Amino acid sequence: MEHLSEKLINWASILDPGTRAQAELTATMPFIHPHLALMPDAHLGKGATVGSVIPTLGAIMPAAVGVDIGCGMVAVRTQFVAADLPEDRSTVRKAIARAVPLSAGARNRSITREHTQERLSELRDRADDAGFDPGSYVRVWDLQLGTLGSGNHFLEVTLDEADRVWLFLHSGSRGVGNKIAQHHIGVAQQVCIDAGVDLPDRDLAYLSEGSVEFDAYIRQMQWAQHYALLNREEMMDRMVACLQDWVGTEVQRLEEINCHHNYTEPEEHYGELVWLSRKGAISARAGEPGLIPGSMGTASYVVAGLGNPVALMSAPHGAGRVYSRNKARKTFTVEQLAEAMAGIEYEHSAAFLDEIPAAYKDIDQVMADAADLVQIRHTLRQIVNVKGT
């Protein structure tokens, strides 16, 4: 941990100059209190750095929450061990890929599951309470519940250090969350223009607490957070069904963790009630369970928070990119990806080249940097990986 400026404290040992400069700029915003905490996986983002924990008094910067509102992970520990699993892992990979629509823009053809209907009914009621129509952002938002998306989102069958079988996935609020975020980023920019605010970066535009625009953002952002949580629950239900069919035995959910890493909520820190925005960071209060995934082909971690007050009770959300997607595609080869994925059942495709582990920070170094933020409870290694393009 090091102080980079008066209001910027850093836990990242791997930090490129551009990311540092972006974080330093965000930390100059006048309503930051007491300081911005930069997590070990920090990398460039829209306006504010991914891997930032940003406490604000009386204002919120929508871009500092993130464009995939409520993005996060869910993991389930089952009663199975590696020896219980059939030898042909391609069977379950293909079944999961059929059960969960993958890739950008993917949707379900229809809504059939009773639990899906219940979740959608809950979301419709919450949208009514929030005073908006999600369909005004994405017409088929309901058909995207239970779908993965693309990028670093994944569905995995994993084994822990005792060879126990876990199901693990990473996804967010899909198209509707992104559209909500982009809309309110634009609203904040216009509000700042109208007020004559001189911003160091237009994506650091903010909404002031008590304004109509602020209240509308909070209501819709909280709805999108819940959408993301239920989206993960829906996909996990489908993964459980696939595992059950593959093994031929009903799955027991012995432990389940579901956590966000792109969100904001009121919390008390350093004696003040602030809006704490975790953009690419998870809550890590003392004893709080959490999930920190690595990149495609590397380990992921089940953790317990250590409640570090200087880090604002937070921890990293993953490995953090060191190569942009375009640079990764130009730098690495399909053969290198196959080598990195040795022993893991996955779809061999050049479409996933930008997700090669070498495009990310070393997750072991990230976890070493986070030693005073979380305690590792379980180390998970992938045996089946499913991703969208």
Q: Which helix (H) or strand (E) holds 116?
A: helix 114-130
Residues 361 and 359: their CA atoms lie apart, in Å, by: 7
- Cα-flanking dihedrals φ and ψ of residue 270, to 5°? 50, 40
CA dihedral 167, 45, 104, 229 (to 10 degrees): 40
Q: Which DSSP symbol is given to 132?
A: -
Would you call 361 exposed, middle or buried from its count of C-beta atoms within 10 A (0-12, 13-18, 19+)? buried
Residues 90 and 157: their CA atoms lie apart, in Å, by: 12
Structure tokens at 265: 């909520």
Contacts of 214 (CB under 8 A, 6+ apart): 59, 60, 207, 208
Cis upstream peptide for 316 (omega within 30°): no
Residues 72 and 49: their CA atoms lie apart, in Å, by: 17
- Active site (annotated) includes residue 317: yes
Q: Give me the catalytic one of 35, 170, 317, 378.
A: 317
Residues 67 and 72: their CA atoms lie apart, in Å, by: 13
Residues 362 and 330: their CA atoms lie apart, in Å, by: 20
- Cα-flanking dihedrals φ and ψ of residue 309, to 5°? -70, -30
Residues serving a catalytic function are 317
